[in-house]
Amino acid sequence: MARRPYRSLGVNSTGVRRRSVTILLYLLVPAAYLAAATFEWKRFAPGIRAPAAHAGTIAGWLAAGALAGHAVLVVGAVFTREGLDVSLVNALSAVAGLTALIAWIGNLTRTLPGVAAVALPVAAIGALLPALFPNPHRFSFANEHWAVLHIAVALIAYALFFVAALQALVLLGLERRLHRALPDPTAETLPPLLTLEQFLFRLVGVGYALLTLTLASGVLFSEEVFGKPLRFTHKIVFSLLGWFVFGALLFGRHRYGWRGRTALHWILAGTALLIVAYVGSKFVLEVILGR
C-alpha cells in the first residue's frame, strides 16, 4: 500500500516532464526558425550587406534543429490516445513543417534559393498554432492505417505546391529585376533562371501526382477509409479546380512550352485554389460551425 503514492507520483512527474519538454519546444522551435530565416534573408535580400562566410552553414544547422523539434511537436499533437487529431491548426503546423523541410533541402541542393527566407518564418508561425489555438478535432477512421497514409500524401502535396508558389514568387522577383536591369547581388551564386524554372516544374509534377493520388483515393475508397460515402463538398470542388489548373499548366508546358510569367501565375492561381479548398473548408467547419 505504501508504494502506490510513489507510483502515482512517478506517473505525474512523467506527465509534467513531457509537458515541460513540449512547452520548451514550442519556444525553441520558432526561435530557431526565425534565427535561421534571418541569416537566409541577409544572404539573398538585395541591398543588405552579406554576412559572414559561415552564415549559410549556421542557418542550415539552425533550420535542421528546428525541423527536428517541429517533427516531435507534430507527431505528439496528431497521434493521441483518443485517435488522430487532424484539426486545422495541427494540419497547418504539419504543412508548415513539410514546407520548411522541402525549402531546407532545396537550399542545400541550390535548387530553391531564397525560398527558405520566406518558408522558415511561415514554419515558425505554423509551429506555434497548436499551442496558441488548441482545438482538438479527433476522428475514428474505419481504417486508421490507410487514413494516415491518405492524409500524409495530401499534406505532402499541399506542402509541395506551397513551396512551388513561394519559388514562383522568387522567380517573378528575379525576372522583374532582370527586366529593369537592376544589379543582383546573388547572381554569381544562383543557377540560371531556366534551370530554376525546370526544377520548379519538376516540383509541380510531383505535387500533381500526389494530389491525383489523394483525390483518387478519396473518391474511390472514402467509405473504406473514413467510414462514410463521399459527399460533393466545397472542398472537393476547389480541389478539383486546382487539379485542373495544374493539369492544364503541365499540359501547356509539355505541349506548347509554357514558361515565364504566364506559367508562374498559373502556379500561384492553382495553389490559391488548393488553399481555399483545404484551409477554407476546415476553417468554416471547425471555427465558424464548430463541427
Can you give the pTM of this predicted structure?
0.84
Nearest 10 degrees: CA dihedral of 191, 195, 201, 206?
Answer: -70
Query: In the sheet where 79-80 sits, what is the strand order?
Result: 79-80, 83-85, 138-139
Residue at grid coordinates 514568387: 169
pLDDT tens-digit profile of 162-179? 999 999 998 888 777 766
**Residues contacting 290, CB < 8 A, separation 6+:** none
DSSP class of residue 234?
A: H
User: Between 88-108 and 115-132, two packed helices, what is the crossing angle to 10 degrees?
Assistant: 160
Q: Which residues of the chain have pLDDT under 70?
A: 1-15, 44-53, 137-144, 178-190, 221-232, 284-291
pLDDT of residue 205: 96
Q: Euclidean distance between the first and final Cα of the chain, in Å?
A: 45
Burial of 127 (0-12, 13-18, 19+ CB in 10 A): buried
pLDDT of residue 250: 95
Burial of 6 (0-12, 13-18, 19+ CB in 10 A): exposed
Count of residues for the chain? 291
pLDDT of residue 1: 45
pLDDT of residue 7: 46
Q: Which long-range contacts (CB under 8 A, 24 or more apart) does 282-288 make?
A: 282/87, 282/88, 282/91, 283/88, 284/234, 286/87, 286/88, 286/135, 286/137, 287/88, 287/135
pLDDT of residue 269: 95
pLDDT tens-digit profile of 70-123? 999 999 998 887 777 888 899 999 999 999 999 999 988 888 888 998 999 999
**Residues contacting 206, CB < 8 A, separation 6+:** 160
pLDDT of residue 195: 82
Q: Which of 37, 29, 101, 98 lies closest to 69 in space, CA to CA?
A: 29
| H/E run at residue 64 | helix 55-78
Cα–Cα distances in Å, from 38 out to 47, 66, 184?
A: 14, 14, 19
Percent with pLDDT over 70 in the chain: 77
